[in-house]
Structure formats: C-alpha cells, structure tokens
Amino acid sequence: MSATADHADHHDGPIVWPKDPQYGLATPGKIAMWLFLCSDAFSFAGLLLAYGILRGGSKAWPPDASLHEPVLGINFTAGLTFLLICSSVTMVLAHAAAVEGNRKKTAQFLALTILGGILFLCGQYQEYWGIWSHGLLHEGLHFGASHYANTFYVTTSFHGMHVFSGVLYLTVILVRTLMGKYDNGKHDHIEIVGLFWHFVDLVWILVFTFIYLL
C-alpha cells in the first residue's frame, strides 16, 4: 500500500489509468456507471414526480373512497427496506474483501447480497399476489383502476425490475469472481456492481418513504 500511482502494463494486473485532473483515478467504467445511474435516477424521478403531482392535486389519497382500495402495509415493507439495507452492507463487505484480494470472502458476501435481492423479490411477490396471505391484487388494488393503484404499481414494479436485473448482474460478477477474474487487484468491477446495487437500495429508501409512509 504505497502512495504511488504507477502504471502497470502487467497483463495480469489491474489496469491503472493515469490520474485525471478532474476525475482522479476513477476508472472509465466507474464514471460510466455513475452517468448511467444519473439517467436512471431521472427515470425514477419522472415516476415519483408523476405520483407527487397526481397526489398533490387530489383531495384525498386514495382519491376515490368508493373503490375501497387497500391501505399499503407499512410493517412488511419496512422489513423489505431492512433487507435491502442489509444487502447493501454485504455488498460493501464484498468489495472490502475484494480489495484485500480475498476471493472466497468476496464470493460469500456477493452470494449473500444476491440472496438479499432474491428475498426482496419474493417479498414483492407476496405483496402483490400473496404467498402466505392475500396480496394487494386480491385486496382490490387493481392496475388501471385509479391513480393510486397506477402510480403504486408502476413505481414499485419498475424498482422490482431493477432488483431483478441487479440480481442477474451480481450473479455474473459472482461467477467471474469464482473464476478468479478479479484477483491481482482488478476489483473495480466489484465496486461498479456495488454502485448499481446501492443505487437500487437508495431508490427503495425514497420509494418506501414517498409511496408507503407519506
């Protein structure tokens, strides 16, 4: 661990980019992921804005009491929030292990992160369709019936899609970790998948507050 920024043209070592005056030593991949996340954040911002405007312009929420739409369960989704926060922790621990060059621990923490994502998706399935109890659909929250139902389903399913793609992305990175692709200090892919995963967690924090709690 020195404070030098040497180039390493080693075929097996990390690719070290020259230090950029603006972006420091952030790899092009990392900068690209940040730009993608910004654009993705705009997609979520659009959905949340639509929700905010529709709700702000309604006298009551849910807007039509005669539809008898169910109230969103807070306690269960608070559990899902907790789950995603935990999976963020396992993600940073996977990255920390990768920085230390510990392939086994990296793989273990990545696997735990994937498990967190899968459990979250199961939780969302339970919420929509019900596994051990009635889901929202059974309780009368139907897509297309009201702004309340539409904004809820569009936003949460768009987020669920991100969790799903995050799980696939993490699985690819896990397989590559097990193949030893990230040994010798080439761990920036693990940090980049982490950026995506933390973003999914971050968005859920906002969705949970704006759609469920407010």
Report 173-212 residues binding another protein (CB under 8 A).
Answer: 184-187, 191, 194-195, 198-199, 201-202, 205-206, 208-210
Among 8, 32, 168, 172, the residue binding another protein under the rule CB under 8 A is 8
* Span interacting with another protein, options 51-59, 62-70, 102-110, 122-130, rule CB under 8 A: 51-59
Cβ atoms of 37 and 195 closer than 8 Å:
yes
* Span interacting with another protein, options 49-57, 116-124, 133-141, 157-165, rule CB under 8 A: 49-57
Among 31, 111, 121, 145, the residue binding another protein under the rule CB under 8 A is 31
Give the span between the Cα atoms of 88 and 201, in whole angstroms.
Answer: 7
**CA angle (79 as vertex; 191, 124 as ends), nearest 5:** 80
Give the span between the Cα atoms of 138 and 47, in whole angstroms.
Answer: 25
Give the span between the Cα atoms of 151 and 169, in whole angstroms.
Answer: 27
Smallest separation (angstroms) from another protein to the CB of 181: 14
Does position 59 bind another protein by CB under 8 A? yes
In the complex with another protein, the residue whose CB is nearer, 97 or 167, is 97
Smallest separation (angstroms) from another protein to the CB of 210: 7
φ, ψ of residue 45 in degrees (nearest 5): -60, -40
Spell out the residues 6+ positions from residue 181 whose beta carbon is closer than 8 angstroms to its own. Answer: 189
Cβ atoms of 171 and 178 closer than 8 Å:
no
* Span interacting with another protein, options 36-44, 138-146, 158-166, 171-179, rule CB under 8 A: 36-44
Among 38, 172, 175, 179, the residue binding another protein under the rule CB under 8 A is 38
**Residue 189 has which token pair?**
């892919």
φ, ψ of residue 212 in degrees (nearest 5): -95, -45
Residues 87-126 that bind another protein (CB under 8 A): 88-89, 91-93, 95-96, 99
Give the span between the Cα atoms of 141 and 135, in whole angstroms.
Answer: 9
Smallest separation (angstroms) from another protein to the CB of 200: 10
Smallest separation (angstroms) from another protein to the CB of 67: 20
Residues 123-162 that bind another protein (CB under 8 A): none
Q: How many CB atoms lie within 10 A of CB 166?
A: 25
In the complex with another protein, the residue whose CB is nearer, 49 or 122, is 49
